Amino acid sequence: MPLELAKRVSGDLLRSLGAGDRFEVLAFSNDTSTLTGGVQEWNGNTLAMALAVLGSLRASGGTEMATAIRAASRTLRPG
């Protein structure tokens, strides 16, 4: 099950972060949406929130990855 594997890998990545790190979780199918309301500072509360939204994610639509990559890149700092 591709989605279950993606959720497990994403959860492992989130748990590997620490103080001073920032993250955003995006979902993509036919379109892209943020699951975390934008970029978040990592802490116990934001980690728990991100893991909860990952756990509730269900497959739907297609897998339009290019749009998600562009959306994720918009939040990067120049340089």
Q: What is the Cα–Cα distance from 3 to 54, expressed in whole angstroms? A: 10
The predicted pLDDT at position 32 comes to 80
The maximal CA–CA distance of the chain, rounded, in angstroms, is 37
Q: What is the tens place of the pLDDT at every residue in 11-69?
A: 999 999 999 999 999 887 777 888 898 889 999 999 999 999 999 888 776 666 777 67
Q: What is the pTM for the complete model shown?
A: 0.76
The predicted pLDDT at position 20 comes to 94
Structure tokens at 11: 């959860």
The predicted pLDDT at position 1 comes to 63
